[in-house]
Amino acid sequence: MASLALFPLTQPSFLPSKPFKSNVGFPPSSPLNQRTSHATPLNCHKMYVPGNEASPEAKAAKNLHDFFNYITVKIVSAQLQAKAWFMFLQVRFAYCKRDFEWDNLKRLVFKMVDESNTKLMREYVQETGK
């Protein structure tokens, strides 16, 4: 039987002494691990992004939030517009068929025509009677 010799593995000198831990996809374990708008020290394991503005993650989150709001408004607007047209047609038909007072309309039209004819006759008599 062959024997295996086990040698301790040593880390090459060009690798950092602490392994890199990625929090991608997971919330930070404490508020101290969150990126702030302040400059990141050079000894940090994260990349340095110059500038005094929000972090790239914060900018991306804001842009995605705005994008989702935009898409939601477009969808709801289209649904409401389609629903509004359908409701408009229904209400117009129902009002015309059930609620509009056709008898009242007929009475008002006759009254207006009668008053208008009386006014025109008076004006005619005044102009011809001089």
CA distance 7 to 28: 37
Instruction: State the average pLDDT over residues 108-115.
Output: 97
- From residue 118, alpha-carbon distances to 92, 105, 106, 123, 128 in Å are 35, 20, 18, 9, 15
List pLDDT tens digits, range 90-107.
Answer: 999 999 999 999 999 999
Which pTM value belongs to this model?
Answer: 0.39
Q: How confident is the model at residue 32 (pLDDT cuts 50, 70, 90)?
A: very low
Determine contact, residues 15/21, Cβ cutoff 8 Å: no
Amino acid identity for residue 28 in this structure: P
Residue linked to tokens 């208008």: 116
